[in-house]
């Protein structure tokens, strides 16, 4: 059993593996945790220019502190295991796994197909599970943690996005299940973002205005809001596991 000190656990030289970390929310998580002294292993799939640019940006501040891994998460379990092994080999340890990569698009009932099912379930649920399974022995050695990026629509469905919502609901249950199975050595939590960044391609101005009107705080959140929540769960939440922190400006209580 890992015993943590009473004071804040320092992040300097701890190692983070994050999926989908080259852009958007993932990139902001990388920037904040790198600024806290962490070494990063950033996974990406098709965002090579963004990944290289982010690595260059961060290593200007601290050389040899960032490694990039390209890979498709829709891959057999053994290849996901290799992704984790490569991350551990890079810096010699693993302290945090952030399952951030996500696939998001509508699948109206009557139009959805198996390719969409495999994609949405694979990236949002299957890959996080098998990455967590592969990472667990390494995280146990360091008293590390797993953080899953869920969604407020894991609890309240978004119209025409049934498969996505089911996958994120599964991710929440995975968080709770693994928190129980991996205790007391590894903490497992999730963050459920609301309206933080517009999806790509961006919706119309009318759609944006309608969405903001449903948020009690009457504004879009920022990627930094998610990044700070990730930092909290890593650095300060030593007695929190199996929980979902909702970061949505109150939207989840107004749906």
Q: How many CA atoms lie within 13 A of 167 on its CB side?
A: 27
Helices (H), 2-155: 24-35, 48-61, 77-91, 114-121, 127-142
Integer Cα distance of 170 and 232 in angstroms: 23
Count the Cβ atoms, other than its own, within 10 Å of residue 37: 13
Please, are residues 223 and 24 in contact by the beta-carbon 8 Å criterion?
yes
Query: What are the two backbone dihedrals, phi and then psi, of residue 113, each rounded to the nearest 5 degrees?
Result: -130, 175
C-alpha radius of gyration, the chain, whole number: 18
Q: Is 197 helix (H, G, I), strand (E, B) or coil?
A: coil
164: annotated active-site residue: yes
Phi/psi region, residue 233 (left: phi>0; alpha: psi -120 to 50; beta: rest), is alpha
* Annotated active-site residue in 44, 105, 129, 164: 164
Q: Quick count: other Cβ atoms within 10 Å of Cβ 150?
A: 28
Cis, peptide link before residue 242, omega less than 30° from 0? no
Which positions are annotated as active-site residues?
Answer: 164
């Amino acid at each position: 059993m890992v015993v943590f000190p009473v004071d804040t656990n320092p992040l300097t030289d701890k190692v983070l593996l994050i999926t989908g970390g080259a852009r958007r929310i993932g990139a902001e998580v990388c920037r904040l945790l790198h600024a806290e002294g962490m070494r990063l292993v950033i996974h990406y799939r098709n965002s090579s220019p963004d990944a290289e640019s982010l690595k260059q940006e961060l290593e200007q501040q601290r050389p040899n502190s960032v490694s990039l891994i390209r890979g498709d998460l829709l891959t057999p379990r053994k290849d996901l295991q290799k992704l984790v092994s490569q991350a551990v080999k890079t810096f010699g340890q693993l302290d945090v796994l952030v399952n951030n990569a996500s696939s998001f698009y509508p699948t109206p009932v009557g139009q959805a197909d198996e390719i969409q099912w495999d994609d949405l379930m694979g990236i949002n649920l299957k890959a996080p599970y098998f990455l967590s399974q592969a990472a667990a022995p390494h995280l146990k050695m360091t008293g590390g943690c797993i953080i899953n990026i869920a969604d407020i629509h894991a609890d309240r469905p978004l119209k025409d996005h049934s498969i996505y919502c089911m996958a994120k609901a599964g991710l929440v249950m995975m968080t709770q299940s693994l928190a129980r199975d991996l205790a007391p050595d590894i903490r497992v939590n999730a963050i459920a973002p609301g309206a933080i960044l517009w999806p790509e391609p961006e919706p119309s101005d009318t759609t944006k205005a309608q969405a903001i009107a449903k948020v009690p705080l009457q504004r879009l959140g920022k990627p930094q809001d998610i990044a700070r929540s990730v930092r909290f769960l890593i650095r300060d939440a030593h007695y929190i596991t199996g929980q979902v922190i909702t970061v949505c400006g109150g939207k989840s209580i107004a749906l």
